[in-house]
Amino acid sequence: MNQNIGSSFDDFLAEQGLGEEVPAAALKRVISWQIAEAMRLQKVTKKALAERMHTSRTAVDRVLDQNDPGMTIATLTSAARALGQRVEVRLIPDPDLACP
């Protein structure tokens, strides 16, 4: 009998030791994509965003690199703010992780 039938994706990630890394990477990807979309809609270049953020174009490249796991929330927030946006991170109760 297959022991994985009925298990969740979260269970799989935990078994692989990726329980925290994957959601964080997914969050980074979404925010990077949203920043890129805001840039596209506002017709803001990388150079212009870098100037608004008071940083280098290389830093903007890292913000937009969806696979860069080292990007801080502060830097993502700075990029969002430079585009008239804000980053919102919040806690949501998970019934599968109920504390005693």
Contacts of 89 (CB under 8 A, 6+ apart): 27, 73
Q: How confident is the model at residue 79, as a pLDDT? A: 96
What are the chain's domains?
Answer: 10-85 (1.10.260.40)
pLDDT tens-digit profile, the chain (100 residues): 555 555 565 565 566 565 555 567 788 888 899 999 999 999 999 999 999 999 999 999 999 998 887 788 899 999 999 999 999 887 888 777 766 6
Q: How confident is the model at residue 72, as a pLDDT? A: 85
Contacts of 70 (CB under 8 A, 6+ apart): 62
